[in-house]
Homo-oligomer: A and B are copies of this chain.
Amino acid sequence: MEVKVLRKVLDVNDTIAEQNRHYFEKKGVFVLNVMSAPGAGKTTILEKTLTSLMPKIKCAVIVGDICTTNDADRLSKSGVPVIQINTDQFGGDCHLAAHVIQRAASEIQLDGIDLLIIENIGNLVCPAEFDIGEHKRVVVLSVTEGEDKPVKYPLMFRVCHTALINKIDLLPYLDADIQLLRNNIAQINPEINQIELSAKTGIGFKEWITWIEDQIKLYQKTRNCA
């Protein structure tokens, strides 16, 4: 019974996600859905990412949290347009759903924007189940979280295109086996692109920024050929 209700909710969500994707295509904007557990470092990564991409690549951000506008305040310092969604108005939802993104996207000026980054709610489970109309999905994982997270939360790693392994500056102080972590990610999803980085020191950002730029180029090329 409960499963049937969830199925229906997801069907409605998928329909609206397709409408979102169509809207983003029309605007020519490439959309990244960035997900992680709470405190893995999404916002700090995005702060540095926006600084690296702008002004060459025009960015906008939609950021989801249950409460507070902390993340939006931090990200808007970069000068890009930022919309904050607080899901406490939606019953404290633990993920961003397509209809919530639809509303937020209508409130943000997307003409001339190349890249829309959606920072999802901090949660390794539910956000992975909800298509919001994005083109690519990124999961951020901190090395402090332990090597077994990919096998314990497999859906998240299965649906993502890139895994950012963050906080590698802390490796000397942890009993973490980075190769085991990488193997666990590859075991769940052999196709996923893995990038080790540190939002604190900036190491690994060149590879991450290149990946984003390549994705945008590829998207724009495919779109022009269509």
Contacts and interface: CB of A to CB of B under 8 A. Distances in A.
Interface string A70-81: 100000000000
A185 to B, nearest CB: 14
Contact of A124 (B2, B70, B123, B170): B123
A70 B153 CA distance: 12
B91 A94 contact: no
A122 B152 contact: yes
B66 A148 contact: no
Given A144-B144, A144-B167, A92 B152 contact: no
A155 interface: yes
A225 interface: no
The 10 A-B pairs with the shortest beta carbon distances in the complex, nearest first, are: A39-B145, A94-B125, A37-B38, A144-B144, A39-B146, A38-B124, A37-B37, A173-B173, A3-B91, A68-B151
